[in-house]
């Protein structure tokens, strides 16, 4: 368990300095996704004015050879701010900006999936449908030694059952971190919708949305950054591993709720069912896009057990948490609403997930889906 005495000491030491006036200067933290496609990096720039939007923040560079994104002989990569949030750590006029990454030749960096997602979301035929997304991000707290936070150092906690939405020191671990993260997101302007303890002890979930188009990826990535940063203050590690503990324990996903305006309108169930058919046709493509390792991470999670579907089979159903696509019970009864894609892994790139959904349901076209340089094999063919 984290040493909270050490944490409190550090906190009290830094509070004096954080209260010092900034004399008209503003700190803007630039945040980006590194070469892993999962980990985030950040550095801070001093500005002489308060930026009103991300467009007021200048382009910057960083050493891509230290983030597995460039060679040392040609290492500078460009950071272009694309979304701005209030800084819940420094407070005041200070900001955090989420950035796109571009190579020396001004082409998008290989893992800059926001660029490709935004191209799709900006198409008139997509924007006119008003695609809404909501992602349920599951994650696990670990002690710095990699052991699940709050678990016995020798042995295991009791079997799953009492931990989901649990209350009590014997059932939940890390609630203070969860509450701090929740408030940090609200302050920052992230569209966080809720949170709950999950099925495995030390596992939690937060939800972001509804967000329209590219906003979904922006807000989920920022929520992830804030979670890692808050947990850092508590000396706790956040894992997005889809199956952090082998055996009879739930894995972690990033279930994606999706709807178009037609699905939300009366008798939208017709459009929902049509979308399910399109998902079935491209199941293998979605599996490819739904974790950073083209399905290999999800293979440990999507086993048909522990509230998951089977990796190789597509399924759907009303209120069925063992299906690939779940139609919530109230949506089935109301005959309109949204669907839940339960296949995305906890470490997915939300830009990749939302683009894939739009390509299948709205565009019915994957012909120009970007496959980055280190992809494992070609994009799968459509399913029969």
pTM of the model: 0.95
Q: What angle do CA 62, 94, 132 make, to 5 degrees?
A: 80
Band of pLDDT at residue 3, cut at 50, 70 and 90: very low
Q: Which pLDDT belongs to residue 184? A: 98
The stretch 331-343 carries a mean pLDDT of 97
356, HSE (Cβ side, Cα atoms, 13 Å): 28
- How far apart CA 168 and CA 43 sit, in angstroms, is 38
In this predicted structure, the answer to whether residue 58 has a pLDDT above a threshold of 70 is: yes
Tell me: the pLDDT tens digits for 123-181? 999 999 999 999 999 999 999 999 999 999 888 999 999 999 999 999 999 999 999 99
In this predicted structure, the answer to whether residue 306 has a pLDDT above a threshold of 80 is: yes
Instruction: Name the burial class of residue 55, with classes exposed (0-12), middle (13-18) and buried (19+) by CB atoms within 10 angstroms of its CB.
Output: exposed
Q: Which pLDDT belongs to residue 376? A: 65
The architecture CATH gives domain 124-363: 2-Layer Sandwich (3.30)
Tokens of 251: 């894995």
Q: Which pLDDT belongs to residue 202? A: 97
Number of Cβ atoms within 10 Å of the Cβ of 105: 6
For residue 270, give the DSSP letter: H
In this predicted structure, the answer to whether residue 372 has a pLDDT above a threshold of 50 is: yes
Decide: 173 and 198 in contact? Cβ < 8 Å: no
25-111 matches 124-363 in fold: no
Q: Which pLDDT belongs to residue 6? A: 46
The stretch 351-375 carries a mean pLDDT of 91
Full strand arrangement of the beta sheet holding 60-63? 40-47, 26-33, 95-102, 76-86, 60-63
Q: Which pLDDT belongs to residue 343? A: 97
Q: Which pLDDT belongs to residue 373? A: 63
The stretch 46-63 carries a mean pLDDT of 98
Band of pLDDT at residue 8, cut at 50, 70 and 90: very low
Band of pLDDT at residue 290, cut at 50, 70 and 90: very high
Band of pLDDT at residue 375, cut at 50, 70 and 90: low
The stretch 319-338 carries a mean pLDDT of 96
Tell me: the pLDDT tens digits for 76-103? 999 999 999 999 999 999 999 999 999 9
Average predicted confidence (pLDDT) for the chain = 94
The stretch 272-298 carries a mean pLDDT of 95
Q: Which pLDDT belongs to residue 371? A: 87
Q: Which pLDDT belongs to residue 377? A: 73
- How far apart CA 227 and CA 217 sit, in angstroms, is 15
Fold observed for domain 25-111: Ubiquitin-like (UB roll) (3.10.20)
In this predicted structure, the answer to whether residue 241 has a pLDDT above a threshold of 90 is: yes
Band of pLDDT at residue 374, cut at 50, 70 and 90: low
Q: Which pLDDT belongs to residue 2? A: 44
Domain boundaries along the sequence of the chain: 25-111, 124-363
- How far apart CA 123 and CA 196 sit, in angstroms, is 35
- How far apart CA 17 and CA 14 sit, in angstroms, is 5
In this predicted structure, the answer to whether residue 208 has a pLDDT above a threshold of 80 is: yes
């Amino acid at each position: 368990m984290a040493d909270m005495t050490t944490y409190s000491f550090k906190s009290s030491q830094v509070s004096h300095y954080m209260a010092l006036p900034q004399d008209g200067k503003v700190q803007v933290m630039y945040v980006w996704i590194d070469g892993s496609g999962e980990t985030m990096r950040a550095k801070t720039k001093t500005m002489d004015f308060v930026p009103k939007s991300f467009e007021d923040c200048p382009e910057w560079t960083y050493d891509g050879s230290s983030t597995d994104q460039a060679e040392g002989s040609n290492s500078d990569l460009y950071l272009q701010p694309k979304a701005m949030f209030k800084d819940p750590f420094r407070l005041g006029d200070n900001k955090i900006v989420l950035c796109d990454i571009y190579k020396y030749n001004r082409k998008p960096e290989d893992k800059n999936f926001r660029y490709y997602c935004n191209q799709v979301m900006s198409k008139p035929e997509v924007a006119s449908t008003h695609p809404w997304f909501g992602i349920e991000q599951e994650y696990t707290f670990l002690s710095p030694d990699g052991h699940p936070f709050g678990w016995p150092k020798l042995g295991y906690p009791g079997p799953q059952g009492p931990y989901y939405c649990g209350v009590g020191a014997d059932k939940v671990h890390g609630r203070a971190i969860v509450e701090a993260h929740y408030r940090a997101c609200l302050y920052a302007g992230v569209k966080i919708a809720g949170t709950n303890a999950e099925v495995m002890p030390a596992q939690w979930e937060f939800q972001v949305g509804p967000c329209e188009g590219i906003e979904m990826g922006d807000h989920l990535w920022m929520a992830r950054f804030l979670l890692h940063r808050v947990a850092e203050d508590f000396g706790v590690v956040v894992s997005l591993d889809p199956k952090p503990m082998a055996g009879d324990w739930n894995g972690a996903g990033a279930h994606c709720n999706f709807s178009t305006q037609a699905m939300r309108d009366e008798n939208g169930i017709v459009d929902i069912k049509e979308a399910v058919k399109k998902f079935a046709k491209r199941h293998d493509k979605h599996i490819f896009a739904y974790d950073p390792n083209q399905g290999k991470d999800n293979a440990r999670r999507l086993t048909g057990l522990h509230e998951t579907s089977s990796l190789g089979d597509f399924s759907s159903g009303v209120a069925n948490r063992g299906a690939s696509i779940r139609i919530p019970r109230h949506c089935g009864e109301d005959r309109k609403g949204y669907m839940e894609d339960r296949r995305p892994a906890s470490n997915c790139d939300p830009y990749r997930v939302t683009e894939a959904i739009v390509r299948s349901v709205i565009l019915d076209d994957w012909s120009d889906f970007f496959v980055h340089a280190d992809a494992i094999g070609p994009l799968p063919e459509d399913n029969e």
